Structure formats: structure tokens, C-alpha cells
Chain A
Amino acid sequence: MNPRIIINFVTDMKNWVRNRGAVFWTIAFPVMLILIFGAIFSGSDEVEYEIYVQDLDSSTMSQSFIEMLGNISFFSVKSIPVEENITIYMEKHDLKRALLIPSGFGEAINHSFIDPNVSVNISFYYDPGEQSSNPIVKDIVFSSIQMLNMNLSGGRNIVGMKLISILTEEYDYIDFFIPGIIGITIMTSNIYGSIERNTKYRKNGVLRKLLTTPITRAEWILSKMLFMLFLSFLSTGIIIGVGILMWNAIININMLVFILIIATSFLFSGLGMIIGRFVKEEETADSAAGAITFPMMFLAGTFFPLEHMPLFLQTFARVLPLYYVNEGLRNAMVYLDFEKAVLNTAYVLVFTCVFFIAGVLLTKWREE
């Protein structure tokens, strides 16, 4: 490899290791987030939960049960057409939970008054990766069923609830959270690293000095990108390691994960270059970067599933590159849904091309 690139890489490494702030934000901060969120995130409240119901019975009894659910203040009940396969419908519409009322539901209840051994189950389909709201919804639905039983028979279990996971594996919140934390760590380290290169080094004359040396602009950018990639992989490795050791997280590593990390690193370096081009002062550029990264962190589904947010924010999230990074990493690393992972990776690559090329073109060594 070109020795100038190697010496730049080594120099960056020394600078970074001796910068406690940079080490903190790249390694200690994400680790702290994993530990804190992993420990406390098990029962957050929602104002309103969506619950989809497929009523295969369409009887007076099933309708009154749906009406009963609708009367619960934090439920928003929606229906799934009877001709749809419920699991395929859930996957297609990215639903985290749904109820299936089987055909013969009303008839079974009526028959139970004659034959006490007759009972019927409502199926609760759920995504086990959604740990923040599904347990609450499940408990409320179960309580509603118990109330129905109380009304029908004074407490005899005529109607039961059957839990059906739509995934083959069980996931915890930490499995959802780890890809998100990887996404924000790569985002922040690359944006701020890029800003440092473009504002601090410009202000203190390093770029002017380098312009008079034999190093080329391409060698400089490539060496910086290699270092940022190294940091991205380092922080990813540490985050995954802590997640597995502390929380038994289920993480899979495959080619898509590598592609996503590389693309994300270039994407946010490009965004940093763009910020650095238009905001000359380092402090102002840091504020500008904060103004972009912080909202993106919370709106792109890093800490909470997107469905917990109001509809307009969900729409807004879909124009944020971090959303596709998070979703891509989750699907590639955790849920192993490669169709979605490839689609999200494609979105990330498009963002990468746009931001990185624009960033490189806008970054100027020469003064005007």
C-alpha cells in the first residue's frame, strides 16, 4: 500500500487514541447506551397501540368482542381482510401483532352453554422482537378475554388465547437495539471526524501545509476514509461483543453487514464533508452536525420502533438515511430477512453515492 496512506493512517490512530473525547464517543458512549437501555428498556408505555384483527367468524359474538377491544382507550383496532393469510399480511405490512378470531367462534361459545367441555381460542400473533409494547398488548387482550369469559359464564374459560410467534427465534429488545447503536456510532464518528478534517485542519493551516507537500488530495481522503472504516469496524465489534457477553444478544455477521458498515461510513463522511464545506468554523460545524445527528438518532428508529411515532414522523423517518441503515442492519444481523436487508442496503448505497460524491466534490483544498 502507498506509504503516505499508511503514515496518515498511523498518525490518525495516534491522534485518536490520545483524544479521550473521541475514544469516549466512539467506544464508551455506545457501550454505556447498550448497558443502560438494555437494563431499563422492558416496559415503556405507549399512548395508543394498534391492534389488527382478522375476524374469520363474522358472528355477533366476534363482533361484540372486537367492539369490546375498540372500547379500550389505548387500542386502535383495525381489521385484516378475511381472504388474507394473517402471517403473510403481517410481514407485508410490518405488523408487530394481530388477533385471529377463528371461524366457528360464535357457534363454539353458544355450544359451550350446552357442553361445558367446548372451548375456543383466539390466536395472538406477535413479533417477538417487539418487546416494548407486545407484552403490554398481550396482557390487555388476555384481560379482555377473561372479562368476556366472566360475562358469558361467570368465569369459566370458554374463550382462551393462543400465542403464536411470527418468527422462528425469540428476540429481545437488545437485539433490536444493537444494530441501532451501531448505526448511530458510525454516523457520529464519521460526521464529526469528517468535520474535524475539513474545518479544524483548514483553520489551523494543516490543509494549506499539505497542499504544498507531495501528498495528493485523493491519498489524503483515502487514508482518512480507511481510518474511519477501521474505527467503524472497531466500534461495531465492541458493541456486538458487549451485547453478546452482557445480554446474550442474537447477532449474525454476513456480507451484507460488512457492505452496510462500509457504505454507512462513506455516507456519513460525505455528509460531514458537506457540512464542513458550508460551515467554516469548527464549533459552528459541530453544532450543525449535532443539529442533524441528534434528531436523526431519535427519528430513525434507533431506540424505538418507528410504529411508536406519529404518522407524520414515520413518513419523515423514511427520508432519513439512518433509518435504512438501522433497518438494513437489523434485517441482516438479527432477523435474517435478507430480502428486506438487500432493499435497505440498496437505499443506503444510493444515499452513499449522493452524499459521498457531493462531499468529495465540494471539499476543496485550495483557498479561493
Chain B
Amino acid sequence: MPEKTVKCPKCNKIVTVTGKPGEVVKIICPSCKTLGKVTFPAQLSSNDIAIEVNNLRKEYGDLVAVDNISFKVHIGEVFAFLGPNGAGKTTTVEIIEAIRKPTSGIIRIFGKDISVSFDEIKEKIGVLPQEFHSFERLTVKETLVYFSSLYKNRVDIDDLLIVMGLKHVENMLYKNLSGGLRQRVGVAIALVNDPEIVFLDEPTTGLDPRSRRDVWRIIAGLREKGKTVFLTTHYMEEAEFLADHVAIIHRGRIIAEGSPSELITRYGQGDVLHIKKCKPENALEIIRAKGFNARLGEEGDIMIRIDHRERVLEVLSMLRHECIDYESIDIRRVNLEEIFLQLTGAKLSEE
């Protein structure tokens, strides 16, 4: 039986859960009794690999955009390719989608080399390219009808409009839609052929929080239907919320890979103390001089990584002793952003 290690979001207790492929297991934290659920990907055997990337490399002259990366995406999982802008995410996904040619490397989708069988594979994939805008003067419904007509296998467009929450705007011209609705139409376009793998390249970039949540719900719905989703994003909370498996890419290389909970367990032991609006200005240097792993956040905030919650008192004592003033303190669990920082020394949003 597959095992999954998860961390309780409330008390950070590590819990190991077993379940069958495709099963959703309800769990109770043994420490704080918080309820939760863990979803197991439908299948995780080597025969059920949707995408296999081996030693992929892409060069633009002297620039190496993708540097010999390898990874596998299993059928039925949401695979998040996480990295800052310019890390090589879109180049990689566009090579997998056969939009770009690799310098070297082999990509297989459902075991078939895309360099020879991509025409056959096209029927099984749905793609939302980065910054995609459809035909401005077609209505939402006409747009979906157009793209579905390019495939042999088609879903019922009226059903798709309902599922995607687009029925009320089916007769609106694409150019008149809001950013959130356009992105939803983009995802719907990627689903017109009922694909087995859905590629979504930064589907929530530029959206307001509410529209972003709408897209997240759609992606979660795809996973429930057993679709394989390849998601590229530079939002760590998106990857954490949606992904079964995350690959973090930095400067063309995969620097960490695993489920979000695995990554947090592996790289992110402990918590982060978020101290808001610290004074004086050299507070960071003072804290670091006392041997704490600290970094500067936004608006003068300071983040201190601590191994155990017991160290909170030690930090508070140090702050008082050093006369460091602050507005408030909260404790946060380590997230993928922190892990990225730990692995690269840079913030996801700064790259």
C-alpha cells in the first residue's frame, strides 16, 4: 500500500498515512485532533507514467535554459513545476508540448517518444499556453466549438460550459471577458477533447485572489476526475494547495522534487517566526549575530527559522535583551517559499 507523510497544519505533527491508489483517506492528528484528508494518486506504478523526461537540455546560444533535467509524472497526479520567472519552466513545458525543439534529451508521453509520435499524442493532451488569448471576436461558446472541432474526440460543449462555470457568458465575445473568465475559457479550451493530460502554464498569473481560487477549484476537479495535470507556476501556495508532486526548478536545474509534505519534511524542519516591523534598522544584524537563522521580509519584517517551538521563548528573550522593538510576532510552518530560499538563497518572487 502506498504511504504518505503529511504534516498537521495546526501543530506540525508529522503523520504517516497509508491508502490505496486513488483513495481519499480521512485522518485525525494524534496530537491536536485536527481533521484532514489525504488523496492518493490513482496509480503509482512504473507502468503508469504519463510523462517521462530524460536528460532534457535546451540551449540558446551560450545560454543554457534547461540543464539536463529528468523527471516523471504519474497518471492521475497533479504535477507542479515550481520556479521563479526565467527558471526554465515554460521552456521545459513547451518542449514537452512539442512547441519547442530540445537541444538534447528524450521525452515520452504514455511511453511514446514525442519526437516521432506527437501527432498521435495530440489527441490525448490539452494545453493552456502561457499568456494565451483566444480569438477576440468569437463568443465563448464559438471559441470552444472551434477548438473542439480540431479533435476527433470531443466533449459536449454545453456540459463543459456548465462545469467550467461559463454558461452565463457563453454568448459574450472573448474580448469582453474579465481576466479571470478568460483564463477559465483557456482552461476550458484545454479540455475540449477530454484529454488525459492537461498542461496548464501559469494559469493564475495576473489573476485576482478570487479568480485564482476559481481556477484552483477547476484544477482540483480535474484531479478528482483522474486527469493528469502538469502545472507550471511560480506561486508556492498554488503548488502546495494543488500538487501531489512538486519539482522545483532553478536556473534550468531541478533542485528538489517530491510531494509538498515530503519536501517540507525533508528540507523544512521547524517553523518560521515572523516578526513584524522590527526596529532599530540594524535589528537583522543583531539577531544574526546572536546565531539565529534570520532574513529580511517585506516592510522591515524579519523571519527567523527555528528548529523547535521551544526556541520561541529564547527568541523573545533575545529581542527583549537587545531592545529590539516590533509590532507583532506569529509562528508559521515552513512552506515551499522557505524551502526555495533555503535551497537557492533567493526568494521565488525575487528571481
Contacts and interface: CB of A to CB of B under 8 A. Distances in A.
A214 B152 contact: yes
B127 interface: yes
Given A204-B133, A212-B125, A366-B101, A11 B151 contact: no
B132 interface: yes
Contacts of B94: 208, 367
Given A7-B149, A14-B142, A214 B122 contact: yes
Q: Name, among A19, A208, A215, A368, the residue most crowded by chain B CB atoms within 10 Å (CB to CB).
A: A208
A3 B137 contact: no
A212 B138 contact: no
B60 interface: yes
A230 B136 CA distance: 21
B97 interface: yes
Contact of B123 (A204, A210, A211, A214): A214
A3 B145 CA distance: 13
Nearest to A211: B99
Given A14-B142, A212-B125, A368 B100 contact: yes
Nearest to A19: B137
A205 B122 contact: no
Interface in A11-29: 11, 14-15, 18-19
A214 B125 CA distance: 10
B99 A212 contact: yes
Interface in B130-153: 130-138, 142, 145-147, 149-152
Nearest to B149: A7
Interface in A209-245: 209-215
Contacts of B119: 214
B146 A11 contact: yes
How extensive is the interface on chain B, given as a class?
A: 20 to 34
B99 A367 contact: yes
B98 interface: yes
A4 B150 CA distance: 6
A204 B142 contact: no
B64 interface: no
A11 B138 contact: yes
Q: Name, among A11, A206, A212, the residue most crowded by chain B CB atoms within 10 Å (CB to CB).
A: A212
B228 to A, nearest CB: 15
Contacts of B147: 209, 213
B189 interface: yes
A210 B129 CA distance: 10
Given A204-B133, A214-B122, A367-B94, A14 B138 contact: yes
A368 B63 CA distance: 13
B17 interface: no
B125 to A, nearest CB: 7
B151 A213 contact: yes
Nearest to A213: B150
A107 B12 CA distance: 124
B324 interface: no
B132 A214 contact: no
A214 B150 contact: yes
B173 interface: yes
A3 B149 contact: yes
Contact of B142 (A11, A209, A214): A11
Given A4-B149, A205-B131, A367 B189 contact: no
A227 B181 CA distance: 30
A213 to B, nearest CB: 4
A14 B141 CA distance: 13
Given A211-B98, A211-B99, A15 B152 contact: no
A18 to B, nearest CB: 4
Contacts of B199: 212
Contacts of B131: 204-205
A75 B137 CA distance: 56
Contacts of B99: 208, 211-212, 366-367
B149 A205 contact: no
A216 B138 CA distance: 22
Given A209-B129, A212-B122, A15 B136 contact: yes
14 contacts: A7-B146, A7-B150, A11-B135, A11-B142, A11-B146, A204-B133, A206-B135, A208-B127, A208-B132, A209-B147, A212-B127, A213-B150, A366-B101, A368-B60
Q: Which 7 pairs of residues, A with B, have the shortest CB-CB distance?
A: A205-B132, A204-B133, A18-B137, A205-B129, A212-B127, A7-B149, A208-B129
Interface of B: 60, 94, 97-101, 119, 122-123, 125, 127-138, 142, 145-147, 149-152, 173, 189, 199
